[in-house]
Structures are given as C-alpha cells and as structure tokens.
Amino acid sequence: MPSSLYAVPPALTAAAALLLGASILIRSRGSRPAVLFFAVTAIVGAWLIGFAILYGMSDPRAALDWARVATVPVAFIPAVTYHFATVETGGGRSSSSWPPSSRSRSPSSGATIVVLAPKRIDSAAARS
C-alpha cells in the first residue's frame, strides 16, 4: 500500500485521540465516565484510522471498500457521546419531570417535547 500525505493528518489525530482516551482511562482507574470517554475516543479513532487507510489506497476498488468500512464507526459517535454526557452530568439521576423520560411507552413522547419545549423556554425567559 503506497502511502499518501493525505493519510498523515487523520492518522496523527487518531493516535492523539486514542492516547488521550487511554490516559484518562488509566488515570481515573476505570471509572464509568472514563470508560465512556475512552469509548468516544476509541470510536473516533477507529473512524479516523479507517479514513487514513482509505486515503493511503491507490486502488479505487479497495478505496471504495475502505470508504464503506470507515463510515461504520460514525453511526456510533452520537450514541456513545450522549451516553457519556448523560453519565458525566448526572442526567440519569434527575428527579424532575422535564424532559419526559425516554423510558415512556408512549410513541408521542417525542412530539410532547417538541410541542412543550417552546412554551417552557418562553416561560423561563419571562421569569428572568
């Protein structure tokens, strides 16, 4: 596989992300937020490594295959980032009723948030 200079930046960024995630994981001795942060950096690192390999390809068919493989981790970035943010901010421990629980069986819970969110924002703005 002949290398290309276009492969260097994503490879260096992937290495930096993985080193950052690993150092946080080691320093915090495997706490739940640290494991989730490492998951974020590992998924981003996998995505960047895939693109670094893709940019280094000279065969168009192999590059197309790597393009398909390299985009798979992208699907997991929002979910793992949301999970990390929820754990880090204590969002799962809140006792308030806003926003409605995602565990609700009602299919209209998403519509409820969309309908009520502007009203809640307006009432909060009026109080301040």
Regarding whether 110 and 127 lie in a shared domain, the answer is yes
72: containing domain: 5-95
Q: Is 11 within 8 Å of 52 (Cβ atoms)?
A: yes
Q: Find the Cα–Cα–Cα–Cα dihedral 10, 16, 21, 24, rounded to 10°.
A: -170
- Give residues with Cβ within 8 angstroms of 54, minimum separation 6: 63, 66, 67, 70
- Residue in this structure with the two tokens 């493989």, named with its chain if needed: 69
How confident is the model over 19-44, as pLDDT tens digits?
999 999 999 998 899 999 999 999 99
Whole-number Å distance between alpha carbons of 81 and 97: 23
Same domain, 49 and 102: no
pTM, rounded to two decimals: 0.67
Which tens digits make up the pLDDT trace of 42-77?
A: 999 999 999 999 999 989 999 999 999 999 999 999
Do residues 90 and 101 share a domain?
Answer: no
Amino acid at 46: A
